[in-house]
Amino acid sequence: MRDLTSISTLGELKRAGYKPKSIKAELRANLIAGLRRKEPVFEGIWGYEETVIPDLERAILAGHDINLLGLRGQAKTRLARLMVRLLDEYIPIIEGSELNDDPFNPVSRYGRDRIAQEGDDTPIAWLHRDERYTEKLATPDVSIADLVGDVDPIKAATLKLPYSDERVIHFGLIPRSNRCIFVINELPDLQARIQVALFNILQEGDIQIRGFKLRLPLDIQFVFTANPEDYTNRGSIVTPLKDRIDSQIITHYPKTIEIGKQITAQEANLPADPATRVTVLEIARDLIEQVAVEARKSEYVDAKSGVSARLTISAYENLMAAAERRAILNNEKSTAIRISDFVGVIPAITGKVELVYEGEQEGPGIVAQNLIGKAIRSQFINYFPDPDKFRKQKEKSPYRKITNWFGDGNTVDLLHDMPQSEYEAALKSVPGLLDLVKEFHREKDTATQLFLMEFALHGLAEYSLISKHNLTVGHQFKDLLSSMFTLPRPGEEDDDDDEVAGGKF
């Protein structure tokens, strides 16, 4: 079969039997073929297999323009960009046409004139599907000229044309996206008068530019994205425009930690040649995802704004960097993630959450520490018995030996950058800690057991069985009661910004 892209004129295209399709027919046909072959159309999108993706596929089969509605960081733009894979690899256009004119049905004056003058000798160019995607971020300064077009006086002067001639028009992004996927991100941020300009484009394909009454039957697949908060906060989608968008699809955050881990592992940008090898334990990955879960239900975080999946991605990258830095400082060629490395996660949290008033009073750093602490508390009972079950039966508590040792006035300091030997010695200095881990996780390797030992100390502090005090360079663990009656030592942080008994990382 002849390679169609070798065709260079309209006459050859006709003789080859080429049949043009609308972009929505293209998307539909290629989606049907992909579904029949059981191919993943939206590859790399996790957690939407039974919710968003079926809705999106139905909308494409129905030939609908689409609005993806959801909080930030829910892969709305990623979904739109992946739709390009459903386009034909190449389509023919009239060479030199700025509106990607179909040789069989040109919409522009340029295309019609070229066909009228040259007939079957009209030269043909081929447009790859990667060039058929246009994306515009809606901001308040976007104008009708940007999207639709305007009269270009320089073009009029250069071509010596009167302003009554439609050839003086400089077309905007939408007409130049003819036969393409056109995406407007954050649609509610468009001014209402700009949204009104989209009415006829969506419904009839008509556009008006400075009094020109043009009939341009544009062939465009529109995809919009919006944040639900925008309907009542920064802006709104005007009702007649919402009425013209055929399908509105609701996106959501990962519904399980496992799905969150898949997304984070896929999207994290880690160095290909790390200075030291860092072993990441599954429990550390779980804690990263749990931080996002805690943030999404925290009273300090604005739920309407959402907590982006980018939080866990950045947090994971920072966690790896913290462990790598520690190993470099200690000249260690390899290391494993520690709970103390989660201090590096705090900057990833503070820049990714929108705080309510109470959270702003607490301070973003304290809120971030709170979220890590709550993540530890939530995950603790997946690895150790629930401490609350032993409140009235302390003699049966598996933590009795540990808490008694701290009750005798002993303390242990775990610093962020401790060498491996000192870190291991500090943990093993706590009687009963290694026994606790071996009782419930005897099969784990040494690195995991050390992590779980440190994890147990942080968990007991979160359940107020011992106290955890923030030092400038680490954490100090000691008895709960004694810590209430002692002042901070030099090098320790002030308790005004830290709870003595858990709750703070």
User: Can you list the domains of the chain with their CATH numbers?
Assistant: 4-250 (3.40.50.300), 253-380 (1.10.8), 387-505 (no CATH)
Report CA dihedral (269, 273, 276, 278) to the nearest 10 degrees: 40
Ordered DSSP codes for 375-413: HHHHHHTTTS--GGGGSS-GGG-TTHHHHHHHHTT--EE
Say yes or no to pLDDT of 499 above 70.
Answer: no
Whole-number pLDDT of residue 234: 55
Whole-number pLDDT of residue 232: 43
Say yes or no to pLDDT of 151 above 90.
Answer: no
Are the beta carbons of 434 and 472 closer than 8 angstroms? no
Whole-number pLDDT of residue 171: 85
Are the beta carbons of 377 and 492 closer than 8 angstroms? no
State pLDDT tens for residues 185-229.
Answer: 999 988 888 898 888 788 776 666 666 666 788 899 999 999 886
Which range (128-132, 314-318, 496-500) has the least confidence?
496-500
Nearest Cα to Cα of residue 74 among 233, 235, 212, 255: 255
Whole-number pLDDT of residue 35: 95
Whole-number Å distance between alpha carbons of 155 and 169: 8
Whole-number pLDDT of residue 275: 77
Which structure tokens are listed for 38?
Answer: 């059981």
Highest-pLDDT range among 82-96, 199-213, 292-306: 82-96
pTM score, two decimals? 0.84
Nearest Cα to Cα of residue 214 among 262, 172, 263, 264: 172
Whole-number pLDDT of residue 205: 64
- pLDDT above 90 covers what percent of the chain? 65
Are the beta carbons of 417 and 473 closer than 8 angstroms? yes
- pLDDT tier at 58 (50, 70, 90 boundaries)? very high
Q: Across all residues in the chain, what is the average pLDDT?
A: 88
The helix or strand, by DSSP H or E, that contains position 128, with its residue range, turns out to be: strand 124-128
- pLDDT tier at 495 (50, 70, 90 boundaries)? very low
The residue with greater pLDDT, 228 or 49, is: 49
